[in-house]
Structure 1
Amino acid sequence: MDNLGDIRLFVEAARLGSLSAAGRKLGLTPAAASARLARLESGLHARLFERTTRQLRLTDEGRLYLNCSEQALRSLDDAKSALQEGQNAVRGKVRISATSDFGRNLLMQWLDEFRQQYPEVRFALMLSDSLTNLVQEDIDLAIRFGTPQDSSLVARPLAPNRRVLCASPAYLARRGEPREPRDLADHDCIVIGSVAGPVNEWRFAHGDVIRQHTVALETALETNDGAVARQWALCGYGLAVKSIWDVADDLRAGRLKIVMADWRYPDAPLHALYHRNRFVAPRVRAVLDFLTLRFAQTADELDALVPCAPVSTPEEWQHKRL
């Protein structure tokens, strides 16, 4: 316990890839940070980093010590949170990860509402369309579309999520409006990329019929950022598949219009993700309960924006004919 601060510095330096950045985060000067790391290495009789002027790289010993150090620090933090829970204390920082569009358009506003109820809570909001490693990035809560395959995470359902094909009125006036999937070959399309690659296989269901359109990547606009895809659609650059949560305000204001409303794109329900084996601090639980309520309230409003189309389960999608 005498070198707990040194261990925290080491863990932060490994996460950030920079000893000086870790020092700044913990309120240390570069010289103090360097001295504390040297003291830790001396006590362990092991070199934890290979250091150059440009790079900080973990040694094999450093990687082993990092894994054990992170587990120990999480246990201490969880113990502190458990004590606070006994005192019903809702305070401290909550680190949240969310997709870019949703984070900017709705989540920021909701978190402001939450802080009016719990002014001692602070937030670190990380916006990314990829699912970051919750452990490595020290994330308490992630809001994501669909269900992750990571069994170490709890996926708590928050709300349904219709995904719609949409475009700006200006684009539709210029290029015409597609009525069915085969019409998409004559249109400009905006593709969102993921870790697995660009999502350019668009599938639509109409009753018992499924049609698939493969967007030609050589002519498509591509981005890995949902906010950019939405902005391109608003600018009239083409058609985009977007979550109703991201484009609700644009639909209400007439900046975007749903096209091919009779053809349903597969849904991707919203989930809150958090660590299965970590203590859920009172502040995190309070945020989760608050967001669950806000999602339920808003979901009913969004239903009215999208024409009712037959619902297909993932199993039904597999058995429908092409």
Structure 2
Amino acid sequence: METLANLESFVRSAESGSFSEAARRLSLTPAAVSRNVARLEANLGVRLFQRSTRRLTLTEAGERFLQSVAGGLEDIQAAIAGVSADAGRPAGVLKVSMSPGFGVDYIVPLLPEFMQRHPAVRPDWHFDNRHVDLIAEGYDAAIGGGTELTPGVVARELARAHIVAVASPAYMAGRRTPREPADLAELDGIVMRSGRSGRLRDRMMRDRAGVQAPVKLQPSIVLSDPDALCRAALLGLGVALVAMPHALPHLESGALLRVLPRWYADGGPISLYFAGGRLLPAKTRAFVDFVVETFARERLAQRFLAA
């Protein structure tokens, strides 16, 4: 059974949001409070706090446990038994962030099978192109690319996203087919503006032999959203450099064609981000394993490659 010191350290840290402030209230050192909370988490088998260099925030299990013990010491042992029993079963709200286009095309279709496997998990999925702070904003996981890893967060690579030059068949009808990346300057460019820097994005393309060449589209349209970029190409407004996950359904249907079939750019990895550590919540572990399994089964990593 738990010691009173461990429980008091947890409650005071949750109330103040700081090990240092809890230590002051309990007349202990911050290191002692941190050790007490770590022992409590190890004994319960669940993570109660998400830790970062800036903030200390309760996990979902931590919030439930705090509510259970707040009523008085007589309820403490019952609360310990309850949270320990739930530790191995995927349950609770699963808060995940992902980009709108990628999430709708590849992750939302997984919902029926995932919910059938884990009926006690309630998805709370957020569709946004911005990079979230998992720990500070209380997310269980995020899917995307180019996210800077903060302390306590790990990345599981799902695939690499190659970027290809695409246009509609109607747009290319009657136009000279480009042979090299430099030839794209003769066509109407649908160009992506970086949401971070505000700059127009240029790419370095390579062919299957490894030869590299810069590509600079002449912007006739500038957009800041990858889904809008792909949509504008589908409307026959010009040539766009589109990531394979966005372009793939339209390439397979024939609505888009690759303007330079031998050339592509590397858009970096698509990764699954989550808080690392031994006490990963069961709902998060179930989601990570399920997404990795589905990507392998559907061969998405291979399908997102343009080479």
Tell me the TM-score normalized by structure 2.
Answer: 0.68
Equivalent positions of 1:282-297 (< 5 A) are: 282-297=282-297
Report the Cα offset of residue 117 of structure 1.
1.5
Alignment counterpart, residue 211 of structure 1, candidates 213, 218, 221:
213
1: CA distance, partners of 2:143 / 2:85 = 23
Q: What does the per-residue CA deviation read over 1:181-214, in whole Å, with 9 as the maximum and x for residues that have no partner?
A: 1111111222232313335212111324311123
Q: Which moved more, 1:203-212 or 1:79-88?
A: 79-88
Flag structure 1 segments of 5+ consecutive residues without an equivalent: 12-66, 310-322
2: CA distance, partners of 1:268 / 1:133 = 20
Residue in structure 2 matched with residue 145 of structure 1 by the alignment? 145
Residue in structure 2 matched with residue 230 of structure 1 by the alignment? 230
Equivalent positions of 1:160-171 (< 5 A) are: 160-171=160-171
Residue in structure 2 matched with residue 71 of structure 1 by the alignment? 56
AA of the residue aligned to 1:248: L
Q: Which moved more, 1:282-291 or 1:124-133?
A: 124-133
Q: What does the per-residue CA deviation read over 1:44-71, in whole Å, with 9 as the maximum and x for residues that have no partner?
A: xxxxxxxxxxxxxxxxxxxxxxx99962
Residue in structure 2 matched with residue 314 of structure 1 by the alignment? none
Query: 1:147 touches 1:155 (CA, 8 Å); kept in 2?
Result: no
2: CA distance, partners of 1:176 / 1:196 = 34
2: CA distance, partners of 1:301 / 1:275 = 23
AA of the residue aligned to 1:249: P
1: CA distance, partners of 2:204 / 2:277 = 37
AA of the residue aligned to 1:76: G
Percentage of identical aligned residues: 26
Residue in structure 1 matched with residue 93 of structure 2 by the alignment? 93
Q: What does the per-residue CA deviation read over 1:99-150, in whole Å, with 9 as the maximum and x for residues that have no partner?
A: 1211111111112321122122111211122212223332111111346354
Report the Cα offset of residue 77 of structure 1.
4.2
Q: What does the per-residue CA deviation read over 1:54-101, in whole Å, with 9 as the maximum and x for residues that have no partner?
A: xxxxxxxxxxxxx99962523824978994576522111111111121
Query: 1:130 touches 1:195 (CA, 8 Å); kept in 2?
Result: no
Residue in structure 2 matched with residue 179 of structure 1 by the alignment? 179
Residue 196 of structure 2 corresponds to residue 195 of structure 1: yes
Query: 2:234 touches 2:256 (CA, 8 Å); kept in 1?
Result: yes
SS of the residue corresponding to residue 171 of structure 1 reads: helix
Report the Cα offset of residue 223 of structure 1.
2.5
2: CA distance, partners of 1:83 / 1:69 = 27
1:277–1:253 distance in 2 versus 1, CA, 3 Å: same
Q: Paired residues, what number? A: 245
1:274–1:236 distance in 2 versus 1, CA, 3 Å: same
TM-align CA RMSD: 3.4
Query: 1:160 touches 1:299 (CA, 8 Å); kept in 2?
Result: no
Q: What does the per-residue CA deviation read over 1:281-315, in whole Å, with 9 as the maximum and x for residues that have no partner?
A: 10111011000011112236853x866x3xxxxxx
Residue in structure 1 matched with residue 123 of structure 2 by the alignment? 123
AA of the residue aligned to 2:212: I
Q: Which moved more, 1:100-109 or 1:193-202?
A: 193-202
SS of the residue corresponding to residue 250 of structure 2 reads: helix
Tell me the TM-score normalized by structure 1.
Answer: 0.65
Q: What does the per-residue CA deviation read over 1:219-268, in whole Å, with 9 as the maximum and x for residues that have no partner?
A: 34223322111211111122222222222221111111122121121242
1:168–1:152 distance in 2 versus 1, CA, 3 Å: farther
Residue 241 of structure 2 corresponds to residue 255 of structure 1: no
Query: 1:200 touches 1:215 (CA, 8 Å); kept in 2?
Result: no
Residue in structure 2 matched with residue 221 of structure 1 by the alignment? 221
1: CA distance, partners of 2:182 / 2:212 = 12
1:142–1:174 distance in 2 versus 1, CA, 3 Å: farther
SS of the residue corresponding to residue 194 of structure 1 reads: coil
Flag structure 2 segments of 5+ consecutive residues without an equivalent: 1-6, 18-51, 67-79
AA of the residue aligned to 1:124: D
Query: 2:131 touches 2:147 (CA, 8 Å); kept in 1?
Result: no
SS of the residue corresponding to residue 190 of structure 1 reads: strand
